[in-house]
């Protein structure tokens, strides 16, 4: 039986591409690539996600983590970045290369994507679609069912595995043809067309670009930490991340690397912190002052608290007062979605 391997984003276009091909009696296996920038949370619930996609859309999907390859590509994408830190053309090239490698594993003979000519300014222009095919080594084996009739016939069409007449010629940014097609498949509950990739979100992208400019080696947990919390670049090279609520505190604790310090007040309520690349005593003092500043307010003459730094066997304790806002304002990295700085009233002591 002919089988196609689909690059599946979870958006409407990719699921329509799967259904258009499956409607020809071709077996379709979808693969959803994930990195901390998109889809990573699904790794913890892959079976549940696959079941949802099967039951809701009739598509078989597996996840594949391509974080390491993506991190390397993101440092220097050959085709540059989009409006933010999004390397969309190189991202597609990378994902197609990965998908091509998976063809034998799934006994698939060609690839499909939900790309539509002219839908996205950067990555779906006609010349860009060709570049993506060429640079991923997928010329001839990449079929885009939603706009196939605007493209040269692929191998699968030429060999008669796919009936070109039953493919589509969608073109441009309008969504109506997709919505109509979805209706014809009985699909009504689908996710919005864009979204899901933090590299296109201005504030998140700024943080990630900051990280890339500063650290030559990209660490998975650093990237995951960049996507939440309060971030401070300390004056002597330290990088402090503070949780903004109990859930973030727990995530920081789970994500910290042995080389980093966990920072918190053992005897008072406040944020969990992770301090990275701290070598200077002033950075420890600053981090302690920030942890107290974002902790629950203390009443009384002395607003001091003990702050504990732990890293493996190493332990330090500092007595600190809240750091004045005017001191640390310039240290703050762009925050994703938060309002003005406030205290964090949940967290330790345990
Ligand atoms: S928005 Fe993100 S996931 Fe989508 S193509 Fe661009 S970089 Fe890749």
Average pLDDT over residues 198-207: 93
- Which residue range forms the structural domain that includes residue 317? 201-331
Is residue 122 within 8 A of residue 89, CB to CB? The reply is yes
Is residue 191 within 8 A of residue 182, CB to CB? The reply is no
pLDDT at 34 over 70: yes
341 vs 181, higher pLDDT:
181
Residues 188, 47 share a domain: yes
**pLDDT at residue 161 in the model:** 97
Residues 174, 220 share a domain: no
pLDDT at 231 over 70: yes
111 contact partners, CB below 8 Å, separation of at least 6: 4, 5, 6, 7, 96, 99, 100, 103, 138, 141, 142, 143
Does 194 reside within a domain? yes
Residues 145, 55 share a domain: yes
Residue nearest to atom 6 of ligand 1 (CA): 88
Does 341 reside within a domain? no
pLDDT at 195 over 50: yes
**pLDDT at residue 121 in the model:** 64
**CA–CA distance, 172 with 161 (Å, rounded to integer):** 27
CATH number of the domain encompassing residue 162 = 3.40.50.620
Tens digit of each residue's pLDDT (9 = 90 or more) over 101-144: 999 999 999 999 999 988 776 667 778 999 999 999 999 999 99
Expressed in angstroms and rounded, the spacing between residue 311 Cα and the centre of ligand 1 is 36
Residues 222, 192 share a domain: no
Residue nearest to atom 1 of ligand 1 (CA): 197
Is residue 209 within 8 A of residue 85, CB to CB? The reply is yes
Q: Is the CB of 79 under 6 A from ligand 1?
A: no
Q: Is the CB of 86 under 6 A from ligand 1?
A: yes
What is the percentage of the chain residues whose pLDDT exceeds 70? 93
Q: Is the CB of 88 under 6 A from ligand 1?
A: yes
pLDDT at 344 over 70: no
348 vs 238, higher pLDDT:
238
**CA–CA distance, 133 with 343 (Å, rounded to integer):** 51
**pLDDT at residue 301 in the model:** 64
Mean of per-residue pLDDT scores for the chain? 91
**pLDDT at residue 349 in the model:** 39
Residues 211, 187 share a domain: no
Does 117 reside within a domain? yes
Tens digit of each residue's pLDDT (9 = 90 or more) over 137-180: 999 999 999 999 999 999 999 999 999 999 999 998 888 999 99
- 13, 73, 74, 88: residue to mutate for ligand 1 pocket, most atoms within 8 A of CB: 88
Number of domains in the chain: 2
Residues 179, 274 share a domain: no
Expressed in angstroms and rounded, the spacing between residue 74 Cα and the centre of ligand 1 is 11
Q: Is the CB of 96 under 6 A from ligand 1?
A: no
Tens digit of each residue's pLDDT (9 = 90 or more) over 276-315: 988 899 999 999 999 999 999 887 667 899 999 999 999 9
Residues 93, 13 share a domain: yes
């Amino acid at each position: 039986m002919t089988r196609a391997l689909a690059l599946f984003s979870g958006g409407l276009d990719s699921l329509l591409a799967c259904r258009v091909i499956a409607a020809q009696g071709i077996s379709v296996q979808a693969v959803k690539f994930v990195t901390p920038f998109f889809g990573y949370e699904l790794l913890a619930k892959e079976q549940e996600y696959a079941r949802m996609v099967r039951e809701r859309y009739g598509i078989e999907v597996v996840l594949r983590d391509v974080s390491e390859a993506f991190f390397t590509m993101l440092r220097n994408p050959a085709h540059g970045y989009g409006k933010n830190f999004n390397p969309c053309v190189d991202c597609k090239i990378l994902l197609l290369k990965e998908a091509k490698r998976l063809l034998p594993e799934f006994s698939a003979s060609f690839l499909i994507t939900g790309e539509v000519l002219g839908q996205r300014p950067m990555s779906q222009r006609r010349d860009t679609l060709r570049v993506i095919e060429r640079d991923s080594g997928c010329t001839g084996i990449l079929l885009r069912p939603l706009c196939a009739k605007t493209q040269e016939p692929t191998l699968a069409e030429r060999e008669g595995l796919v009936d070109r007449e039953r493919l589509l010629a969608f073109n441009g940014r309008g969504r109506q043809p997709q919505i109509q097609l979805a209706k014809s498949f009985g699909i009504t509950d689908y996710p919005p067309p864009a979204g899901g990739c933090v590299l296109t979100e201005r504030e998140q992208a700024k943080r990630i670009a900051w990280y890339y400019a500063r650290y030559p080696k990209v660490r998975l947990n650093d990237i995951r930490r960049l996507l939440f919390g309060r971030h401070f670049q300390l004056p002597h090279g330290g990088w402090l991340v503070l949780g903004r609520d109990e859930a973030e505190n727990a995530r920081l604790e789970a994500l910290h690397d042995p080389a980093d310090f966990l920072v918190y007040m053992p005897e008072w309520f406040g944020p969990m912190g992770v301090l990275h690349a701290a070598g200077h005593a002033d950075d420890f003092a600053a981090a302690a002052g920030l942890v107290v500043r974002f902790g629950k307010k203390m009443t009384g003459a002395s607003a001091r608290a003990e702050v504990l730094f732990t890293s493996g066997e190493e332990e330090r304790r500092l007595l600190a007062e809240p750091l004045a806002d005017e001191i640390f304002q310039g240290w703050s990295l762009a925050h994703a979605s938060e309002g003005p700085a406030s205290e964090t009233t949940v967290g330790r002591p345990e």
